[in-house]
Structure 1
Amino acid sequence: MRRARIGAAAASMVVAACAQPTSEHARDQWLWHTLVLDNQVFLEREPELAGGKLAKMSDGPYRFFRGTAAQYARDVMEPGSPGYWPTAFGSEQTRDVALVGDPHPENIGTFRRADGTMVVDFNDFDGATFGPYDFDLRRLALGFWVAAEQIDRDHAALVAMGEPVEQPLREGDREALARAVVTGYVDEIARAASEPGPGLVLSDAEAAGVVLGTLLEGAIEDGDAQEKLEDYTRVEDGVRRMIYGDVEAPRTLELGREPQVIYEDTMRRLGARERTLVTELLARYADSRDGIDPQALRLKGSARRLGAGVSSYPVARYYLLVEGDSEAVEDDVLLELKQVLDPVPMPGLLRYPSRPFSTNAERVVGMQRALQAFDDDDPWLGWAVVGDDGYRVRWRSGYQRGVQVPDLSRDLADDDLVPDDLVVFAELAGRLLARSHGRAPKGDGTPAAPAIAAAIGDDGQGLVEEVMAFVDAYAPRVLADHAAFVELLEAHGPRLGYRRR
């Protein structure tokens, strides 16, 4: 049975490979066209921020990977594309699984629940939708492979500058990380099918492995110190106020003889129109929450934050300082209101928002609550809609801390991590994804874990090999696309030659 499945998958890989463009030039043109198309809303609305996003993607293959989820979706969903071949481990019952949408190492982080318990979970659901489970699984495995490639390049840069790297990645570590993701997923989805419920909950630093355990410890320290409030606000004369300006200075890249500013962390004052908008959004946010005290939402300050994210770098992101439980400055709360747009289109599948979600904001929040281990991972999570624009609202706290690939690079170089720690992290990430898929209802409302487990059957190793074959074949395509993308920026500038209409 396993041999037949792998043989069918291999045959479809050959067909996909034969259907690739006949030249790299054709692929480059496709990449140029789709990147402009996907970012046109930003290129029209705020071209400087659109250019900043594209320039940020040039930093390395991992940031490019983060900014090209739509290219990944086309490649794996459209017949004839380089990442396309049907899985031998799917069924009609596994085509409407609740998906994270863009799972990768940096979309995993910590949360502090309403009861004070710390947990690790996925933390970005902008792309959450319904679709085949292998879309997420392959994306996560590929993400770990690309992260390892990025770490290797970071270390090479350190060595070139004469800096020591105590724990370099070994030959085969890229593949080991990707394999660990799928192995963890296969084992955990079988458990989820037989043991419904939260299942795997990473709340103890010792049980979470070195990478996630260190993340939990740092989040507790940052949260207890009110790190986010310290970063973005100041207490003056007993009153807490927003700060404005550069929290971290921007940088400038020269691309195609054109300078492009890339914000790292800047707080910008709001004009009258934006102040009116955030006031209305805050009022409507209360409607998405039960039992919230209106006094806790008394607005004390607001700003637009620039520089966060990669795919979401140009979207509107507002920080609001609100009263909290009392008038004491110690329990002031910082909220983030982030505009959410359509999820990445998945050719051949329904496009959301549609039923059961009336807006993108409701989609993101509803899917987050369904996919996370607990619906109060973020006790301030909610949404607000004004006109056609939807915003997800979340708590900005030091208790919420995400994995950062540059931190992994540095910790390996400094001997604070060893490569096997990353393998443990990758396996746990695969298990987290399995639990997310397994616990959230499918599009038809039925449980997903039994359907996925039935599709895999007793050939979990076959699924591991199928995903590894995908990663081995497609990961070099990501690296080649990144190199071509950098050349496109050099030739056409940070906005890829786009001119506003």
Structure 2
Amino acid sequence: MSERLTYTERLEAGQRQRKHMRRADHAGWNASARDEEPKTLLKRSDKGRIPKLVKLKYERMAASAFAYFRGAATVMAYDLSLGPNSGILNQICGDAHVSNLGAYEGADGRLVFDINDFDESMVGPFEWDVKRMATSILLAGREAGVKEARCREAVEMMLASYREGIIGLTKMTVLSAERHQVKRLGDLPSIEQVLEIAERSTPLHSLDTLTEETKGGERIFRTKPPTLERLTGLVAQQVRDSLTTYRDSLLPERRRLLDRYRVLDVAFKVVGTGSVGLRDYVVYLEGNGEDDPLFLQVKEEVASAYAPYLGGASPAHQGQRVAEAERAMQFQSDPFLGWTTLDGRDYLVRQLNDHKAAIDITTLKSATLPEYAGLCGELLARGHARAGDCAMIAGYLGNSERFDEAILRFAVAYANQSERDWKKLVAELKH
């Protein structure tokens, strides 16, 4: 085991980082610091994607300012890199926003609500996650028709919840912090609705929506171009073959579970916003008969949007990078979470839809947005604490609201910037 500083030393180390970057200095955002336009950054991220689907990606991003923000993680990564940071490095989600939280079934069969997207995850300045989450609350609230003052209150709620969560977890024993469960889930109507949807979102439900029965009685994937296309031939066989490597990436006790299924069919599926254009396959497996389906998503992973700006050790395999971050930051992870390689590309593998559901941001009205924002802050704090050193973060944050106030000012400025960037994208797409 490597040497570790004492609890007090780590708190004090976090406090000393305020000299490196004052908490008030997080408020800064200056678009004139950009040397590259968002359009250039986005086009660069399209390299290697399926050309015919890139247009669909931009169509989805053009739907709203928040949709643009979701698809423009590469732009925000660049923007965050332009200024100073706290110097406190932690495993970050990388794409922390209000729609990247959702319900899913944990390994013990119970529903979990947690951060659920780690495509951009790396070790980086902890506050980059906080800034992205805060900005997303403003944009989501505006899209839902919530008044600006209330949107800002929601951001304040998230920031206070994050700070208090970090400080609270710091005071726990190591094992207590590792086992910490968020208690407020059952008290939020918006989360209750998500959990109710998740209860119904079973593999059997996916069986009806994704597959159809042939005249011979065999079940195969439906074809719904361009979002779902059944595959046969070489690519389908390559996907099947890649499951052997995937099996090796599973935790040992999960390999036996996978061995109880057999592969029946393979399809190509379009998912998400920022991920559109990357290769994404769905594998239909069967366990004990036709009423025991399992759907695995084999999702292409490329380098994190933050990779050009952050050094440090990270798995060379991009699917492994994402899976290990997910296992570290989540309270419970998908038991089928793993990775594989297919035709020279890296992939993450996970269940496609096992009791999964996410919040509809249009339901985040004035009464519910602050409460949901508070939950976002607490879950982000828990993720950071599980995967890093919350004592250093706690030392840096302190008990005052200086950090909160600065991040709120940044979020307002960056949300406004995102709206301008979105309008520019929409105008460009019309020409």
TM-score normalised by length of structure 2: 0.87
Equivalent position to 2:39, from 23, 29, 32: 32
Q: Deviations over 1:379-423 (max 9, x none)?
A: 211111235311111112340112232xxx2x46xxxxx422121
Q: Are residues 1:303 and 2:267 paired?
A: yes
Q: CA deviation at 1:286?
A: 1.1
Equivalent residue letter for 1:139: R
Aligned counterparts of 1:270 and 1:72: Cα–Cα separation in 2: 35
Q: CA deviation at 1:19?
A: 4.3
Q: CA deviation at 1:305?
A: 1.0
Which residue pairs with 1:217 in the alignment? 196
Q: Deviations over 1:101-129 (max 9, x none)?
A: 10111110112122211110111111111
From the superposition, tell whether residues 428 and 18 of structure 1 become closer, same or farther in structure 2 (CA, over 3 Å).
Answer: closer
Check conservation: 1:145, 1:175, Cα contact below 8 A.
Answer: yes
Aligned counterparts of 1:10 and 1:18: Cα–Cα separation in 2: 19
Point out where structure 1 has 5 or more consecutive residues left out of the alignment. 22-26, 79-83, 153-168, 251-262, 413-417, 442-447, 492-501
Equivalent position to 2:66, from 62, 66, 91: 62
Q: How does 1:280-319 map to 2 (within 5 A)?
A: 280-289=241-250, 290-291=252-253, 292-293=255-256, 295-306=259-270, 308-319=271-282
Aligned counterparts of 1:125 and 1:474: Cα–Cα separation in 2: 22
Equivalent residue letter for 1:77: S
Check conservation: 1:205, 1:217, Cα contact below 8 A.
Answer: no
Check conservation: 1:119, 1:202, Cα contact below 8 A.
Answer: no
Aligned counterparts of 2:64 and 2:276: Cα–Cα separation in 1: 16
Aligned counterparts of 2:216 and 2:355: Cα–Cα separation in 1: 24
Q: CA deviation at 1:55?
A: 1.7
**Which secondary structure does the structure 1 equivalent of 2:113 belong to?**
strand
Q: CA deviation at 1:20?
A: 4.3
Q: How does 1:362-373 map to 2 (within 5 A)?
A: 362-373=320-331
Aligned counterparts of 1:11 and 1:303: Cα–Cα separation in 2: 49
Which residue pairs with 2:300 in the alignment? 339
Equivalent residue letter for 1:393: V
**Which secondary structure does the structure 1 equivalent of 2:276 belong to?**
coil
Which residue pairs with 2:165 in the alignment? 188
Q: CA deviation at 1:171?
A: 4.2
Aligned counterparts of 1:297 and 1:436: Cα–Cα separation in 2: 32
Aligned counterparts of 1:437 and 1:130: Cα–Cα separation in 2: 11
Equivalent position to 1:419, from 366, 371, 379: 366
Question: Number of matched residues?
Answer: 408
From the superposition, tell whether residues 378 and 348 of structure 1 become closer, same or farther in structure 2 (CA, over 3 Å).
Answer: closer
Aligned counterparts of 1:198 and 1:236: Cα–Cα separation in 2: 48
Equivalent residue letter for 1:245: T
**Which secondary structure does the structure 2 equivalent of 1:420 belong to?**
coil
Aligned counterparts of 2:416 and 2:167: Cα–Cα separation in 1: 31
Q: CA deviation at 1:13?
A: 5.7
**Which secondary structure does the structure 2 equivalent of 1:269 belong to?**
strand
From the superposition, tell whether residues 267 and 347 of structure 1 become closer, same or farther in structure 2 (CA, over 3 Å).
Answer: closer
Moved more, 424-433 or 169-178: 169-178
Check conservation: 2:211, 2:220, Cα contact below 8 A.
Answer: yes
Equivalent residue letter for 1:172: A
From the superposition, tell whether residues 203 and 274 of structure 1 become closer, same or farther in structure 2 (CA, over 3 Å).
Answer: farther
Which residue pairs with 1:228 in the alignment? 206
Equivalent position to 1:357, from 297, 315, 327: 315
Aligned counterparts of 2:404 and 2:232: Cα–Cα separation in 1: 53
Which residue pairs with 1:242 in the alignment? 220
Check conservation: 1:117, 1:203, Cα contact below 8 A.
Answer: no
Which residue pairs with 1:386 in the alignment? 342
**Which secondary structure does the structure 2 equivalent of 1:226 belong to?**
helix
Which residue pairs with 2:5 in the alignment? none
Which residue pairs with 2:9 in the alignment? none
Which residue pairs with 1:479 in the alignment? 419
Which residue pairs with 2:10 in the alignment? none
Aligned counterparts of 2:299 and 2:96: Cα–Cα separation in 1: 19
From the superposition, tell whether residues 283 and 199 of structure 1 become closer, same or farther in structure 2 (CA, over 3 Å).
Answer: closer
Q: Deviations over 1:22-65 (max 9, x none)?
A: xxxxx8x72222221221322xxx22101111121111101100
Q: How does 1:72-83 map to 2 (within 5 A)?
A: 72-78=76-82
Aligned counterparts of 1:380 and 1:237: Cα–Cα separation in 2: 32
Which residue pairs with 1:126 in the alignment? 119
Equivalent residue letter for 2:345: D
Which residue pairs with 2:380 in the alignment? 433
Q: Deviations over 1:71-116 (max 9, x none)?
A: 11111211xxxxx4x35xx3x4x22x00111011111011212221
Which residue pairs with 1:201 in the alignment? 181
From the superposition, tell whether residues 386 and 171 of structure 1 become closer, same or farther in structure 2 (CA, over 3 Å).
Answer: closer
TM-score normalised by length of structure 1: 0.75
**Which secondary structure does the structure 2 equivalent of 1:335 belong to?**
strand
Aligned counterparts of 2:31 and 2:324: Cα–Cα separation in 1: 41
Check conservation: 2:122, 2:304, Cα contact below 8 A.
Answer: yes
Check conservation: 1:296, 1:322, Cα contact below 8 A.
Answer: no
Q: Percent identity?
A: 25
**Which secondary structure does the structure 2 equivalent of 1:172 belong to?**
helix
